[in-house]
Structure 1
Amino acid sequence: MKSRFAPSPTGYLHIGGARTALFAWAWAKKQQGDFVLRIEDTDRERSTQVSVDAILDGMNWLGLDYDEGPFYQTQRFERYKAVIQQLLDEDKAYYCECSKERLDNLREALMAKGEKAMYDGCCRDKALTSGHHKVVRFKNPMNDMVIFEDLVKGKISIANKELDDLIVARSDGTPTYNLTVVVDDHDMDINHVIRGDDHINNTPRQINLYQALEWDLPEFAHLPMILGSDGARLSKRHGAVSVMAYRDAGFLPEALLNYLVRLGWSHGDQEVFSLAEIVSLFDLKDINKAPASFNEEKLLWLNQEYIKNATPEYLVKHLQWYLQHQKINTDNGVDLALVVASLQQRSKTLLEMVEGLKMFYQDFDVFDEKLADKQFKDKAPLEALMKKLSQLEVWKADEIKGIIKQVCDELALGFGKVGQPFRLALSGNGNAGSIDLVAELIGKATTLKRLKKAVDF
């Protein structure tokens, strides 16, 4: 069994494409088959190497490993040319010389009459030979119906009279999408074509091409589209739609995959799935027919769940990209895994975690002005902390907590009146977790230095 993901490299790998790739990948793994990556780069004007790299980076980050590929359509032009010639030789295709002006006028005239804008077969029986400015059109059957059982949508049928003679080769000889995809899926032994339902109108045309070439038909599964929270098709205005933009924003790949698989597929009331569970439980018949709605708050919740339940060592591995990007050196300081463990329960994203860990490895120049006005009105708690902590021999969270309690008792202050100024002194921005643990991890020398800085301020 083989499935495939076949993006066009005309932009980044977007959320919809990633979900299609995930469903095709999961189905191949479930069936113990192969998953193929094919880059459909025949649109030479819009295809770029940058986009190819973005697709490969996205697939790699998500962990959607492919068994074959990546294959590139631009490396297969001779094969497409041979198939087009076969169609011509068997009188299943013909040359068309209709000008753009004629086609535009035909379209306008049909639309003015309220009819479907279709090619009228003007050149179908002219027996034209090859030449400049001529395209090649497929002779679509004129009678009967195209009927197929979609694995998601169910039975679909369309009359051949609703389909015109599609162009299979442009005037410059380059093949078109509907031709290349049929040839590739046949040659690569793809027997499950899983793709977005924006392709569903192409499927009857492609089935007719398969039959004209006397090739076996694959199974088709067309996935419902993804909508934004306002019910419109997901786009940039709904937030990040590029897969790597979510990496940049601090999401774990497993959280994004978990969220994507739930966009249109479900297994009871279960919300959190490991990759192994996705593979074992996934079934195309369980995909919803209706469009799915993208909810960034739900994705954020999932991401936080994954961060909470990951091992610190695993998170350290994923944090490396952010640390390098922001030039944060954690070599000279407390073990990063210990810091990560202290931040796990309060970080929704890896970016939040990076902000939280900076104070353990970098000094700061200024205190948050508003918080300082509020927390630094009285320096007595800070001075008392500095004096007692300087005498502390065992630098552990429990011991530090005991010192804070002593200062509270001696000055007859509530914990907040001592703990909050201490928190601001250590972090500079008040954004710190359990203050005794933070002080332990930062270390005695740095804690005392920052307390002095706060007192001086």
Structure 2
Amino acid sequence: MQIRTRFAPSPTGFIHLGNLRSALYPWAFARHNKGDFILRIEDTDLERSTQEAVDVIIEGMSWLGLDLDEGPIYQMQRIDRYREVIKQMLDSGLAYPCFMSEDELNRLRDQQMANKEKPRYNGLWRPEPGKTLPPIPQGVNPVIRFKNPIGGSVIWNDAVKGQIEISNDELDDLVIARPDGTPTYNFCVVVDDLDMKITHVIRGDDHVNNTPRQINIMQALRGTPPIYAHLPTVLNDASEKMSKRNGAMSVRDYQKAGYLPEAILNYLARLGWSHGDAEVFTKEQFVDWFDLESLGRSPAQHNPEKLLWLNHQYIQNADPVQLALATKPFAHELGIDTERGPDFVQVVALLKDRANTLIEIAEGAKLFYLPAPNLSAEQIKENIPEAIVPALKDLVDAVSVAESSKATYAAIFKDLLAKHQIKMPALAMPVRYALFATTRTPAIDSVLVVLGKEEVISRLSKAIL
């Protein structure tokens, strides 16, 4: 069997991490099984669907490297297909027109609730042998309802939740087309999954209530239901369902905040799935390890600190050349001309071990691209003690003839400390101030390498002459 999975978002708002997890798992399952992964845009809600939301979905998936085999496929482009199936269902008695108005339906529900009954359509227009239907009202466009089975149960073995059984008596006759002929969500999903030969539906557990309705329609159309895996909800750090209303960040927000896609993917993978004690792993490892049996049954909780820690791990272990490419846009936003001054790759390599985000690297890099400080006599007097000037002069002389390497500069500092009988801070702090007009920099021997021998000598000389 060729495994075929899908991600089927509704483009009615921004896409957050909880949404993306519903894309990641079916993608990983398809890739693990050498199957197909399909993107389907469920855009039948014309009032709320936007092209901008579609673009964000596609950009977010592309950023994470969730490649597609098919799609995006838009439901609104398949309207003729849905109408064709609805006609077939009407002709075969699987569906029927219902002329109950919205007001009538509301009054029925109010009465049922007053009687402490579950609100549901009462089957008034459902054709049955020997039943006389009400007169068809003039000028009323009917909805189309599916004739849900009466009696029995819908049973499926959910790959996450185990066996689930829903009585058909709990389900009324679902509207599958609105008065204007527009098909409804649960109906379109079934037709799509059948036409696209979807074998596994991996989605959030807010769809559990939809599943028995979809299975009944699918079986009425003589289709075989896919294997369902309903993922527990992702909660925010306040234990509320993750949503824009509750402060969830969009994918674009994380991108703009300087997170690496590899870290986001790794983090998302662990929001409801695990492989032993593995915390940090590559996308390739994740695909190799992924299976439905390892999906968790409890709600996953978003942990911003854990995500930031993961991002730090990926930055720390990243290739400096690739990391520099990813950081450049952030540096340019800060006004840094990365083509003038120290080699940007070297700057990034120096800063990456302490950075949590690409923005932090860019902010740290500013120091190396500012003009040489023009120190006043008072600044020099306050920050470069007269007693340390001989050591600084010796440092200039040593640097001018030395190989530019961290090891060489470390050895020079060691010799100067011994010669002048001083501690490292007593020398390093004035050096930092002479170079940048600040005492907060990375390791001074590495700083000298990155700044460049000529620039180091020039700045130190100005401060001690």
Using structure 1 for the length normalisation, give the TM-score.
0.89
* % identical aligned pairs: 48
* Cα pair 2:234 2:300 within 8 Å, conserved: yes
Residue type at the aligned position of 1:20: S
Give the alignment of 1:8-87 within 5 angstroms: 8-87=10-89
1:207-226: per-residue Cα shift (whole Å, max 9, x none)?
A: 01101111121111111111
* Cα pair 1:386 1:448 within 8 Å, conserved: no
CA distance in structure 2 between the aligned counterparts of 1:82 and 1:382, rounded to whole angstroms: 88
Please point out which of 321, 335, 348 is paired with 1:340: 348
Local SS of the residue matching 1:76: helix
- Deviation at 1:333? 2.8
Please point out which of 267, 277, 284 is paired with 2:285: 277
* Structure 1 match to 2:130: none
CA distance in structure 2 between the aligned counterparts of 1:211 and 1:130, rounded to whole angstroms: 34
Local SS of the residue matching 1:37: strand
Q: Kindly tell me: are residues 378 and 222 of structure 1, through their superposed partners in 2, closer, same or farther at Cα, counting changes over 3 Å?
A: same
* Cα pair 2:154 2:212 within 8 Å, conserved: yes
Q: Does 1:221 align with 2:225?
A: no
- Deviation at 1:246? 1.5
* Cα pair 1:389 1:400 within 8 Å, conserved: no
CA distance in structure 2 between the aligned counterparts of 1:35 and 1:310, rounded to whole angstroms: 29
* Structure 1 match to 2:305: 297
Q: Which range moved further: 340-349 or 57-66? A: 340-349
Please point out which of 376, 386, 400 is paired with 1:380: 386
CA distance in structure 1 between the aligned counterparts of 2:373 and 2:122, rounded to whole angstroms: 74
Residue type at the aligned position of 2:9: P
* Structure 2 match to 1:261: 269
- Deviation at 1:393? 3.0
Local SS of the residue matching 1:111: helix
Larger radius of gyration: 2
1:212-269: per-residue Cα shift (whole Å, max 9, x none)?
A: 1111211111111111233221234765432222222121111111111111111111
Using structure 2 for the length normalisation, give the TM-score.
0.88
CA distance in structure 1 between the aligned counterparts of 2:333 and 2:389, rounded to whole angstroms: 38
CA distance in structure 2 between the aligned counterparts of 1:254 and 1:237, rounded to whole angstroms: 27
Local SS of the residue matching 1:36: strand
Residue type at the aligned position of 1:163: L
- Deviation at 1:334? 2.8
Q: Kindly tell me: are residues 119 and 342 of structure 1, through their superposed partners in 2, closer, same or farther at Cα, counting changes over 3 Å?
A: same
CA distance in structure 1 between the aligned counterparts of 2:336 and 2:291, rounded to whole angstroms: 44
Local SS of the residue matching 1:184: helix
1:11-70: per-residue Cα shift (whole Å, max 9, x none)?
A: 222111111111001100111111111111111111111111101110110000011111
1:288-336: per-residue Cα shift (whole Å, max 9, x none)?
A: 1111111111112211111222211221232233234444321223332
CA distance in structure 2 between the aligned counterparts of 1:327 and 1:84, rounded to whole angstroms: 59
* Cα pair 2:391 2:420 within 8 Å, conserved: no
CA distance in structure 2 between the aligned counterparts of 1:381 and 1:162, rounded to whole angstroms: 88
CA distance in structure 1 between the aligned counterparts of 2:119 and 2:321, rounded to whole angstroms: 60
* Structure 2 match to 1:124: 126
Q: Does 1:206 align with 2:214?
A: yes
* Structure 2 match to 1:417: 426
Unaligned runs of 5+ in 1: none
Q: Does 1:183 align with 2:191?
A: yes
CA distance in structure 2 between the aligned counterparts of 1:430 and 1:221, rounded to whole angstroms: 56
* Cα pair 1:152 1:221 within 8 Å, conserved: yes
* Cα pair 1:384 1:407 within 8 Å, conserved: no
1:128-176: per-residue Cα shift (whole Å, max 9, x none)?
A: 5996542212111121111111111110010111111111111221111
* Cα pair 1:397 1:436 within 8 Å, conserved: yes
CA distance in structure 1 between the aligned counterparts of 2:386 and 2:109, rounded to whole angstroms: 84
Q: Which range moved further: 265-274 or 201-210? A: 265-274
CA distance in structure 2 between the aligned counterparts of 1:315 and 1:322, rounded to whole angstroms: 12
1:166-190: per-residue Cα shift (whole Å, max 9, x none)?
A: 1111122111110111111111111
Please point out which of 304, 318, 324 is paired with 1:310: 318
Paired positions, count? 451
CA distance in structure 2 between the aligned counterparts of 1:278 and 1:429, rounded to whole angstroms: 44
- Deviation at 1:121? 2.0
* Cα pair 2:334 2:363 within 8 Å, conserved: no
* Structure 1 match to 2:7: 5
* Structure 2 match to 1:248: 256
CA distance in structure 2 between the aligned counterparts of 1:189 and 1:50, rounded to whole angstroms: 29
Q: Kindly tell me: are residues 205 and 347 of structure 1, through their superposed partners in 2, closer, same or farther at Cα, counting changes over 3 Å?
A: same
Residue type at the aligned position of 1:230: A
CA distance in structure 2 between the aligned counterparts of 1:93 and 1:318, rounded to whole angstroms: 55
- CA-atom RMSD, angstroms? 2.9
